[in-house]
Structure 1
Amino acid sequence: MKVRSLLLSLLITSVSFSAFAQAPQIKISGTNPKDARAVSLQSLQVDVKITGNIATTVMTMSFYNASARVLEGELTFPLPDGVTVSRYALDINGKMREAVPVEKAKATEVFESIERRRVDPGLLEKVEGNNFRTRIYPFPVNGIRTITIGYEEELRLNGQQAFTYRLPLDFKQAIPDFSLRTTVLESSSEPVMSEQPDGSFKFKSQGNTYTAILERKNFLPKQALAVELPKVTDALEVVVQKAGSSAYFLANIFIKGSSRNHQLSSDIGLIWDVSLSGLNRDKVKEFALLDALIKDKKNLTIHLGLLNHVFKNGGDFVINNGNWNALREKLGSLIYDGGADYSKINSRLVKGDEYLFFTDGFSGFGPNTVYLNKPVHTINTALRADFSQLKYIAAKSGGKFINLNTFSASQAYQQLSKEELQLISIKNNTAVTELYPSVPTPVNGLISIAGISSAANTSMTLQFGYGNTVTMERKVTINAGKTNASMIDVSRIWAQKKLSEMDQNYEDNKVEIAQLAQQFGIVTRNTSLMVLESVDDYIRYGIEPPDELKPLYDQVKKQRMAMVDQGRRDLLNSSMTMAKVLQEWWNRDFPKVKVFPKPDKADNQMYDAVSMPPAVLSSERSVATHSRRNSTGAEMELNEVVVVASGTQRKSSMVGAARSGRAAGIAVQRNADQQSNPAGPEIKVPEFKSDKGYMKKLQGSSSGAYKSYLAIRPEYESTPSFYLDMANWFYQQKDSVRALLILSNLTELDLENSEIYKSLAYKLTQAGDPETALFISKKVVKWRPMEAQSYRDYALALANCGKYQQALDTLYQVLTKSYNADISNRDQGIEEIILAEINNLIVLHGDHLNTSRIDPKLIFKLPVDVRVVLNWNKIDTDIDLWVTDPNGEKCYYKNKLTAAGGRISDDFTGGYGPEQFMIKKAIKGKYIIHVDYYGDNHISISGPTVVMAEIYTNYGKVNQERKVITLQMSGKKDNGILIGSFEF
């Protein structure tokens, strides 16, 4: 079975390197715990080079898989503000291969396409905030995989006017092969080690270069490595790197500048993020900053606002003589639960002349825009944060961004209460261009500027001051004719500065960001680093290879141009064909033949579709009932025994007649016009309840059960299915407020996880929250633009919000957008579902729609008595929809057209679905709907597959009704899972 586990199980609580703000997050899901323990770190080599205030760190890690399973690896780690990965390499056939930059969505598409062929792609991408994720496949049985990650970082001055580099080494287990090399170049004084791995790690000098080397076997470091490099203030450093007729330069200007008082308001709004991720913030640092502020102000009023998926007034606190015990007690007793929605913040609930916003920058449950017209000071203590967003909120409102991971509480308060000297502008010099930072920037003792010079020798004048008033100038001379960059790649530092500034307004700059990142090989929101196994793969997907492969790539490419990008295509031609098929089916009359039930065969045996006269069975039905596509698109006989991913065998038989029995549910509005049943159809769904052990611990009333949930949660804090189960329980208790709070936690669990977000959108749709479901669906489109299902889900969410024109345009885009061959083959037949939904919108809302863009051949009426649609959230998953009619005949992948005219769409065995059942004229009696969980080849951190079934009566008619059911697939059941019934 292909398993999305993570390579580095050994490091789940221990790995942390250099600029890493915390240990990389290792997430192991859907795997046997023994497999996770079988993966171990065999060797670690770290090479650190420091020149001036620039540190370059390269880590090479080798892992051994002692399990009997091929695994896939995923490692997520945060980096500090302004630091990004610029090097990634993976071992291919025993040799390290450097990655190349690729547009992010394309890289994801290529990675997933290649891994199905069981070859060796590697992918490193940036996810929300300044967080990075590397995915590697395959991780072989009894084999070793090696990865290399590198990045540059600018070191900041500490309170003692020294640059500090820190490399955490808090391992829990000894490393068999450990190597650490640290080199400080061109240093005027000897570096000082304030911490070191063991007593023997010391610098040796050779001129002005200092080197320390440590090589150990079975080594467990005693403490971290911390190196301090003393600097002389008021000094000037300029580093130059030639680039043809121009040169990149980096200028570090050390300035002592006095500050001016900024009188903080005595009427402050305090916005406290109490979403689930707030558990990871450093409350000690946050309280220390508040304490410094209150002790200085002494008398003030603080209005507390509590933010998660909603915004609430937490009370007003009048503080006299610096006593804030009541506020401290309130903040110390807060419960952190739910997702965050910044757009809910408003000044009507919480007033203030200035606002302090303690958060991490993630607004997963709603837009990240803060609608306040007063200064908002954003304050971060989280190690995983969206620094760009925090800066943007502060800058837009006239506030300041305070990173308490960089400054002490007293230093941070100085920034809030003082107007610091800042770089305001640079006098014009036509020879110097592309200077960054290009916006006013606080100095804090050091300002670092990068740019491009077209002159061999030139100078520029920097202007410093307060607000818009210039009070100081400094001249910087640039000798571009002499390169002194040594080990520093100045061009990459310059690119990172430019990217960091543009990222604060990402939507307006995303095209330029992608271009710049690909040119310099830097990971950004929309650019990833990728390694492919063969030259053929680089050619097939139209990706420029690393330098080592370019000669062979150029040679082979001429012969195989047809392979490039696998011939992308749209769905229009197949949609035209499908439109005719659907119209022919709809126009056909099916005889009302009474069919008597056949006796069941042996247990676990599937009965065939009932025998009918030849005239009744169409050629469409007879062809469709004899074969089933496997995940590669090939046909296989039903009675063939298939080995599925779990290692078990799928039985060649299926379910017999649908089980009779009672199903609890909620009645839908009756249709008085239904001819076959004057009372109208009634959709019934059972009340789905989880059988997980933790559900038994919910006690008493809804309020008491919520306390039980909070007590249980620490054990399941990162498990999506836990929140789905808990939310479902509270919905069933009619406590939609707590249910939505718990459900919103799904946005806090994993960065850019489309599977979790899809399941969340399903549940929100069922719960009647279309606006939030729309926001969630739009996120998935952003992350998975290569798939038709992303756009379809978004279109249906638009329709649920009454945005019918946008919904229609987006559905039509599904048919006109191009897809690569793998995805096109996987999703063959989805056009049938899209056509039904396009025409449903036109029938119900046509008077208000512009249909001029849609080919008239695709527009036709398709009203039906019944439509059932099954959707699911995971790729590489095979789930089947079964609908059994009153005659006892089951419509499913083997019996695609029933005697009564029931029709089911193509069977999706490798994608997300959807699958659709329709019947034009429902015969009188009861219809029963089952879902069969056939199996999957995709186990991920998102937990069990989540399905959403939509049951419509009178679809495409003015009296259309819909019932939505969402549930988790806990495993295959021989008789399928009953999800609903209706009766005509």
Structure 2
Amino acid sequence: MRGEAMGWRATISLAIGLWLLPAPAMAQTNPSLSEAERGIRTDDGEDVAKHLRIDEVLVSAHVTGRTADVTLELLLSADPQEDENFEARLALALPADAVVTGYALSVGDAMIPGQLLEQPKARNLYEDEVRAGIDPGLAEVSGNRFTTRIYPIDRAHPRRFRVTFAAPFDPMRGIVLPLSREGTIGKVSLTVTVDGFAAAPSVRFAGETVTLAKQGAQWRGNAGGDRKRLQGGLEIAGGTLAAPMLVTRHASGESFFAISDTAPAGAARPTGGRLRIYWDRSLSHRDDRRDLEAEVLARLADTTTPDAIDLITFASDRPQWTMHPDAAALRKMLDGVTYRGATSFAGLDALSLPPARRCVLVSDGLVTIDRGAEFAADCPLALLTASPKADGARLGRIARGPLVRVSDGKVAEAVAALAQPTAGVTAIRDSAGRRIAFRTLPAGAGAWQIVGPMPDRGGVRVRLSDGSERSYAAGATVSADAPGALWAAQQVQILGDDPARHQAMVAFARRYQVAGPAMSLLVLERPDQYLRAGIAPPPGFDAEWMGQYRESKQDADEAALDDKRERFEQVLERWAERKDWWKRRFVASARPKPRPEPMAVPAPMAMAPSPPPVSEPAPAHSPSDEDRAVMVTGTRAQVASESAGLAADDVSEAIVTAARLRDVPVARAERATVDTAVKVDLADLIAKRPYILALNAAAPAQRLTVLAEQERAFGSVPSFYFDVAEWFRRKGDTATGESLLLSALELPQADDETRQIVAFRLERDKAHDRAIELAEHIAAANAEFRPQPARDLALALAARGRSRGAAGRADLERAFALLTDAALNPASDDFDGFEVIALMNANALVPDIEAVGGRWTLDPRLVALLDTDVRIVIEWVADDADIDLWVNEPNGERVFYGDQLSSAGGQISNDMTDGYGPEEYAIRRAPQGAYEVRINGYDADRINPNGAGHVLIRLTRNFGRRSEEETLVDVDLAFQQGRDRDEEARTKPIATLRVGR
């Protein structure tokens, strides 16, 4: 294989929503091709390939009824005059509602197919291969856009890749794959096969009409040639179906139906009554062709002459309802809508509205929050969208009428489709009367189209929205994936909405081979890569390597049990060390120990060297337990005095030495404290970017106007919404702040990093349900390869549980289980130290669980409530980034990775150099004075060196006590370069905590 000869291996990940080419490039050419530095993300805006070209475009299409399976195979090559290797970045716009069903890349002479696994895991594996120096390729899907990055390509070794997708016919345009590039391409070809048509559809390719010939029950045609221009792409439309129902055999071996039919003839077009419009005002609707949608609605009102028009606008806040007499008033209202917040259908069901004759929902369906919310309109509901990225699978679940897509020049057709009597399917049953799950696809005026699993025996009975029924009998079966893939994509989405069904979703997606927002296709070459990925190699994998894989898999399975036992012993040892630290007596030195010199860094991207050994101070008597308190400069907080009974040391010692788990009398330890103030001043933590300066200069009455102006200029990235959300929150406008925060979820760049930051802030603001929803999805998708999301979810559950009193028992119990499971399960060495931090949180939950009559289970050797005056924990959202927590104590000592234990007993946990964290500072008895908290961006992820790090910080005083209080803050952090990365001036100050009266 070429990979062996050249010393590189290929890793290809089809991941969802991780990287996109700029929108203008997609509008000009399709596919677009550009170049980038290998494996390293850049923001230079380069979107033109100077040294790469597309030499071949081979297209094949299999049309089955009003659906099609389409395969594109492209050959990429390098300039023969160049000696260098290049990385290709290619983006391709797909038809609306297309579902990617396959991806393959050439490795030597073979095309290696992709295997499905969770998107975050695919991304993690891909990036690990990049960092290891193995040259990969990456492919992605977001909405209707497919992108791929492939390396290496040189003049002697072109690369070929293949992508397959299923798509339904657009009722107004058919199948349209817009292919367009300047200049000629070495070879362009099309092969078309059509099943289920009495009269063939029309086909055009690269600007030419393709003639189809009848061959048995099929129609077939070919087109193309050498040195062709790729203008006009592929268009398949029209034709006459041989029968309303076509049965197809999916690659899984299962059969599916595709039914396209019309409403009963002669039904009168209803007029008058009430027209109700549900209008999406979330951020994602901002950039859609709202002018087309508004024109359709105005013409619909003119055509149907309703007695009144209800307009319900909705996003992630409360729905707003207004009434309008005519189309002109409706247009004026729509012109003034502000688009902000996340897409959410929550609250629509709870509205008390007058009966309506006709309802239209206008939305892209890209729900980003409240995914479990139910919405079922109490009137015949049609769907309208002008967005090419609209989620047809979700919209099809809501519709009780047609799903209409409008584009330039198609307004009249859209109005006609909406004005016709509702032609929707309400139920499908088999011959025995059992319900069949189905998916509604877009259809023309007075028509409907559905796909679903075909019963083993007999036909199907369809009930329409007018109450009538129709029966359809099975005919000959055609081999095709599209109907089954389109149906399965919707079922995957339904399962994906519930994180508790995550594994069922993964299994379902693999069963029908459909990629979606949660699933990716990963191509690997070597046995060890498949083993690390936890997936089996595909059929046709090299026989010798398959033998190596099976042997290694058996060894790995046997080693897993040993790993779990070893992990438990490691946790016991580290927890014993933490308990020893807690019991020790420390006395702060009058003078600090000399600080280590900044470490020399030979190259800007070099990893930090291992910290030097830490010499622990000899045990000494503690200072007297006079009244003391912990303060983070600011808000007032009442602190309980020491409770009666055992002293703090006695209580905790009883926990440590308890013989039987259920007999352990766990209680919150209390030390003598006095009234104090607690505050974190966030003024310096908001970046002074231009839009913040503009808001600072605005008069209160002009803030929203200025915000809109700045949003037009800067509102394309999540950081803008994070910053302005915090600005409005601090000004007391929490509603605007929350709407801006949730807007970040709507951007094309939004990913797990975005969701983690939003969830953290929602927890801070006590929006517990939404914080937990986001944390649930992140934890479910990342569970296999990193433990941090489980801890984040546990902390959000704990916060909600504590806020609910007795009703929070289930949350508290689950939070405890998540923390202890994450601490005890084998994890990568990258995250050593995580287990102690998780156990600190778990033990602090025990008193809360027992207070509400709950139950918990943990080995007695791991039970100890280790309360502290101060506890600070940071984590970050980037993989492979090295971020450090620093605390400067009152006597001048700095506690950080280079000096992990102070003379006063302040301790920093294990240095996390490979991403995510957490890192923890804790001190049991804090001497009086100021504690300065700083963070240091020591080293960026080498494949993403240009981005800022984002750090989530929990500042806790009186941790593990009844008087515990926690402050949550998050900040952007620049990564430092060169030899001075350890200089204090290059770190970021976070807060000052003061201990004293």
TM-score, normalised to structure 1's length?
A: 0.79
Letter in 1 for 2:634: I
Partner of 2:224: 213
Partner of 2:959: 955
Whether 2:940 is the aligned partner of 1:936: answer: yes
Distance apart, 1:937 and its partner CA: 1.1
> What is the rounded CA distance, in whole Å, between the counterparts of 1:592 and 1:737 in structure 2?
46
Superposed, which structure 2 residues align to 1:359-508 within 5 Å?
A: 359-370=363-374, 374-375=378-379, 376-394=381-399, 401-404=403-406, 410=413, 414-415=417-418, 417-420=420-423, 428=431, 437=438, 460=459, 467-470=466-469, 475-478=473-476, 485=478, 489-490=479-480, 493-494=483-484, 496-497=486-487, 500=490, 503-504=493-494
Partner of 1:685: 681
Superposed, which structure 2 residues align to 1:428-827 within 5 Å?
A: 428=431, 437=438, 460=459, 467-470=466-469, 475-478=473-476, 485=478, 489-490=479-480, 493-494=483-484, 496-497=486-487, 500=490, 503-504=493-494, 514-524=506-516, 527-562=519-554, 564=556, 567=560, 572-595=568-591, 607=596, 639=599, 641-645=601-605, 666-669=634-637, 671=639, 680=676, 682-685=678-681, 687-688=683-684, 689-698=686-695, 699-750=697-748, 753-786=751-784, 787-801=786-800, 802=803, 803=808, 805-817=810-822, 823-827=827-831
Partner of 2:969: 965
Partner of 1:226: 235
Partner of 2:667: none
Question: C-alpha root-mean-square deviation of aligned residues, in Å?
Answer: 4.6
Check whether the contact 2:936–2:988 (CA below 8 A) recurs between aligned residues.
yes
Letter in 2 for 1:181: L
Partner of 2:662: none
Distance apart, 1:977 and its partner CA: 1.1
Letter in 2 for 1:226: E
Q: Which moved more, 1:360-369 or 1:260-269?
A: 260-269
Distance apart, 1:381 and its partner CA: 2.6
Change (3 A) 1:730 1:833: same
Q: Which moved more, 1:730-739 or 1:504-513?
A: 504-513
Residue 96 of structure 2 is aligned with which of 74, 80, 83? 80
Check whether the contact 2:492–2:509 (CA below 8 A) recurs between aligned residues.
no
Q: Which moved more, 1:936-945 or 1:800-809?
A: 936-945
Give CA-to-partner distance per residue, 1:665-716, whole Å, 9 cap, x none. 6344265859898664655535123133443333422442332232232343
Letter in 2 for 1:230: G
**Tell me, what secondary structure is at the counterpart of 2:174?**
strand
Check whether the contact 1:10–1:39 (CA below 8 A) recurs between aligned residues.
no
Distance apart, 1:281 and its partner CA: 2.7
> What is the rounded CA distance, in whole Å, between the counterparts of 2:766 and 2:47 in structure 1?
40
Change (3 A) 1:475 1:951: closer
> What is the rounded CA distance, in whole Å, between the counterparts of 2:835 and 2:490 in structure 1?
42
**Tell me, what secondary structure is at the counterpart of 1:791?**
helix
**Tell me, what secondary structure is at the counterpart of 2:26?**
coil
> What is the rounded CA distance, in whole Å, between the counterparts of 2:225 and 2:965 in structure 1?
71
Distance apart, 1:121 and its partner CA: 5.5
Aligned length: 897
Check whether the contact 1:305–1:313 (CA below 8 A) recurs between aligned residues.
yes
> What is the rounded CA distance, in whole Å, between the counterparts of 1:33 and 1:729 in structure 2?
29
Letter in 2 for 1:641: V
Partner of 1:49: 61
Change (3 A) 1:519 1:114: same
Whether 2:44 is the aligned partner of 1:33: answer: yes
Structure 1 segments unaligned to the other structure (5+ residues): 599-605, 609-637, 654-662
TM-score, normalised to structure 2's length?
A: 0.78
Check whether the contact 1:665–1:686 (CA below 8 A) recurs between aligned residues.
no
Check whether the contact 2:928–2:994 (CA below 8 A) recurs between aligned residues.
yes
Change (3 A) 1:577 1:102: same
Change (3 A) 1:206 1:838: closer
Q: Kindly, what percent of the aligned residue pairs are identical?
A: 19
Give CA-to-partner distance per residue, 1:143-175, whole Å, 9 cap, x none. 8654321123343655xxxx833221344x546
Whether 2:26 is the aligned partner of 1:13: answer: yes
Letter in 2 for 1:696: L
Whether 2:143 is the aligned partner of 1:119: answer: no
Residue 945 of structure 1 is aligned with which of 938, 945, 949? 949
> What is the rounded CA distance, in whole Å, between the counterparts of 2:248 and 2:50 in structure 1?
44
Q: Which moved more, 1:533-542 or 1:179-188?
A: 179-188
Partner of 2:901: 897
Check whether the contact 2:71–2:164 (CA below 8 A) recurs between aligned residues.
yes
Give CA-to-partner distance per residue, 1:101-151, whole Å, 9 cap, x none. 345565455444444423355566767xx6576665656799865432112
Change (3 A) 1:120 1:549: farther
Distance apart, 1:263 and its partner CA: 4.8
Check whether the contact 1:71–1:139 (CA below 8 A) recurs between aligned residues.
yes
Change (3 A) 1:254 1:950: closer
Give CA-to-partner distance per residue, 1:231-257, whole Å, 9 cap, x none. 2x675685776999x995767676684
Whether 2:308 is the aligned partner of 1:301: answer: yes
Change (3 A) 1:939 1:757: farther
Structure 2 segments unaligned to the other structure (5+ residues): 1-10, 613-630, 643-670
Distance apart, 1:957 and its partner CA: 1.5
> What is the rounded CA distance, in whole Å, between the counterparts of 2:84 and 2:821 in structure 1?
44
Change (3 A) 1:234 1:420: farther
Change (3 A) 1:755 1:243: closer
> What is the rounded CA distance, in whole Å, between the counterparts of 1:639 and 1:580 in structure 2?
31
Partner of 1:343: 346
Check whether the contact 1:572–1:816 (CA below 8 A) recurs between aligned residues.
no
> What is the rounded CA distance, in whole Å, between the counterparts of 1:942 and 1:269 in structure 2?
48
Partner of 2:890: 886
**Tell me, what secondary structure is at the counterpart of 2:777?**
helix
Distance apart, 1:888 and its partner CA: 0.4
Partner of 1:611: none
> What is the rounded CA distance, in whole Å, between the counterparts of 2:194 and 2:226 in structure 1?
21
Distance apart, 1:763 and its partner CA: 3.1
> What is the rounded CA distance, in whole Å, between the counterparts of 2:502 and 2:418 in structure 1?
31
Partner of 1:96: 111
Change (3 A) 1:877 1:704: same
> What is the rounded CA distance, in whole Å, between the counterparts of 2:452 and 2:378 in structure 1?
33
Give CA-to-partner distance per residue, 1:403-423, whole Å, 9 cap, x none. 446985555554565143869
Residue 174 of structure 2 is aligned with which of 159, 164, 177? 164
Distance apart, 1:330 and its partner CA: 1.3
**Tell me, what secondary structure is at the counterpart of 1:898?**
coil
Check whether the contact 1:719–1:943 (CA below 8 A) recurs between aligned residues.
no
Letter in 2 for 1:745: S
Check whether the contact 1:839–1:860 (CA below 8 A) recurs between aligned residues.
yes
Partner of 1:60: 73
Change (3 A) 1:473 1:140: closer
Check whether the contact 1:305–1:350 (CA below 8 A) recurs between aligned residues.
no
Residue 181 of structure 1 is aligned with which of 190, 208, 219? 190
> What is the rounded CA distance, in whole Å, between the counterparts of 2:673 and 2:450 in structure 1?
78
Change (3 A) 1:681 1:709: closer
Letter in 2 for 1:643: A
> What is the rounded CA distance, in whole Å, between the counterparts of 2:83 and 2:774 in structure 1?
37
Distance apart, 1:931 and its partner CA: 0.6
Change (3 A) 1:720 1:138: farther
Give CA-to-partner distance per residue, 1:322-377, whole Å, 9 cap, x none. xx212211102222122233213355576554643321112323345245662354
Partner of 1:277: 284
> What is the rounded CA distance, in whole Å, between the counterparts of 2:403 and 2:46 in structure 1?
43
Partner of 1:622: none
